Amino acid sequence: MAHGAAPQFPPRREGGFEREPARRVFAAELRESRVHFKDGQDEKSPGFVLLPTGARCNRVFIVGTLTEKKKQGDQNLFYRARVVDPTGTFFVMAGSFQPEAMQQMARVEVPSFVAVVGKPTVYQPPDGAALVSVRCESITPVDKETRDQWVLDCAAATLDRIERGASTADGERARKEYGMDPAIFRRMVYDALAQLRL
């Protein structure tokens, strides 16, 4: 597998602002993320989650199986959903702050393959644990071939981050913050690809 060339959503300009590219990341890696920071002092400075493989992440592009969705709230309606990839579960939320995403979430069937673009957020409940959820910007039904292609692309992007992380400032910070052996994520990639062959 040629890695290092995994396609990413390029930055997009909207209303004079350039949107950050959406990174492909497996659920098992996003679940381990607990460092959240802003790049700048301005109120509108973008926020990032630092991935353990050594890259900052403002938006994610995930594809998996929508296994559950629940409508909650009275005046402020929102959906909580679970999207599963070969490595684990993403927790996805769509609320009134993103009405188009919430309408898309209302229409999508359970179970089905879906593609989600959204912003990852780290929460720290009183027990000190770190929980990561994705605030949905869009959710679209896709087919199995698209899911399988995403797994291949996400595997390539993950291996690329591991390789580049050895020589970047974000990679150095990730090593200090997480202290995780990159072999863990290489194994995660291997296991995800192995499931495609089942």
pLDDT digits (tens, 9 = 90+) for 9-55: 555 555 555 667 899 999 999 999 999 998 877 877 889 999 999 99
pTM for the full predicted model: 0.87
Name the amino acid, one letter, at 97: F
Do 151 and 27 form a contact (C-beta atoms < 8 A)? Answer: no
Hey, is 22 helix, strand or coil? Answer: strand
Hey, is 82 helix, strand or coil? Answer: strand
* Average confidence score pLDDT of the chain: 89
Classify residue 3 as exposed, middle or buried by CB count within 10 Å of its CB (0-12, 13-18, 19+). middle
| pLDDT above 60: residue 191 | yes
Cα–Cα distances (Å) from 129 to 26, 40, 82, 87, 124, in that order, read: 20, 26, 19, 20, 6
Residue 41: its pLDDT value, please? 78
| pLDDT above 90: residue 143 | yes
